[in-house]
A and B are shown apart, each in its own frame.
Chain A
Amino acid sequence: GAVVSQHPSWVICKSGTSVKIECRSLDFQATTMFWYRQFPKQSLMLMATSNEGSKATYEQGVEKDKFLINHASLTLSTLTVTSAHPEDSSFYICSASGGSRTGELFFGEGSRLTVL
């Protein structure tokens, strides 16, 4: 139990286009999901907290108009990188908590974005 899945696992896009990444909790309901990004050989940096049915809470320095987050259901959150540029290339990882194992946070497999 407590499986979190991301899609796509990798994506390559042209500069200026928008890319959507999905994060699903497969066997539990997640009222809160988190989005992280990770640059090569660096740690995970929290971008935003996604709350079901309400606006996301962004960390300082993260542009909310650049990284659109939607949490329309208890099992799905999406991150859209708008007007992507090469510097947005990164590894994006979502996480969720919920189900019977309260207090624990489970991560998706990650999505590798490369912007040309």
Chain B
Amino acid sequence: GQQLNQSPQSMFIQEGEDVSMNCTSSSIFNTWLWYKQDPGEGPVLLIALYKAGELTSNGRLTAQFGITRKDSFLNISASIPSDVGIYFCPSRSGGSNYKLTFGKGTLLTVNP
């Protein structure tokens, strides 16, 4: 079956630092979605990527869809305390049903 890996599993950084995390898959993705989950909340969509090589920004966040369609990275610049949370890049299957399968995520801690 499809394998989805997120790295790193956790990160501890100082406020103001930039951070990068990535996802790799054993299968090709047609769409790559990045989510952030705050404690006790549902995941919130940060960035959606649709084309291989696509580079998209959302404020301090930048994400890129790998050329091979098997990987993606998310960068956060000038981190702030509210960036704390778990970041997910779920794999998608099921054709038009958009069924998502979540990996373990990357836990980000930002020290003020």
Contact = CB atoms under 8 A, between A and B. Distances in A.
Interface residues of A, number: 24
Contacts of B102: 36, 43-46
A107 interface: yes
B42 A32 contact: no
A104 interface: yes
A97 B80 CA distance: 30
B101 A108 contact: no
Interface string B34-62: 01000011111100101000000000000
A103 B50 contact: yes
Given A97-B98, A104-B48, A105-B33, A43 B42 contact: no
Interface in B82-112: 88, 90, 94, 97-105
A103 B48 contact: yes
Contacts of B48: 101, 103-104
Q: How large is the interface on B (under 10, 10 to 19, 20 to 34, 35 or more residues)?
A: 20 to 34
Interface of B is mostly: loop
A104 B45 contact: yes
B105 A107 contact: no
Contacts of A97: 98
A103 B31 contact: yes
B100 A110 contact: no
Interface string A1-41: 00010100000000000000000000000001010100000
B41 A43 contact: no
Given A106-B45, A107-B43, A46 B103 contact: no
Contact of B103 (A34, A43, A107): A43
B98 A44 contact: no
Interface string A91-111: 101010100010111111110
Interface of B: 31, 33, 35, 40-45, 48, 50, 88, 90, 94, 97-105
Interface of A: 4, 6, 32, 34, 36, 43-46, 49, 91, 93, 95, 97, 101, 103-110, 112
The 8 A-B residue pairs whose C-beta atoms are closest, nearest first, are: A107-B42, A44-B102, A97-B98, A110-B42, A43-B102, A93-B42, A107-B43, A105-B98
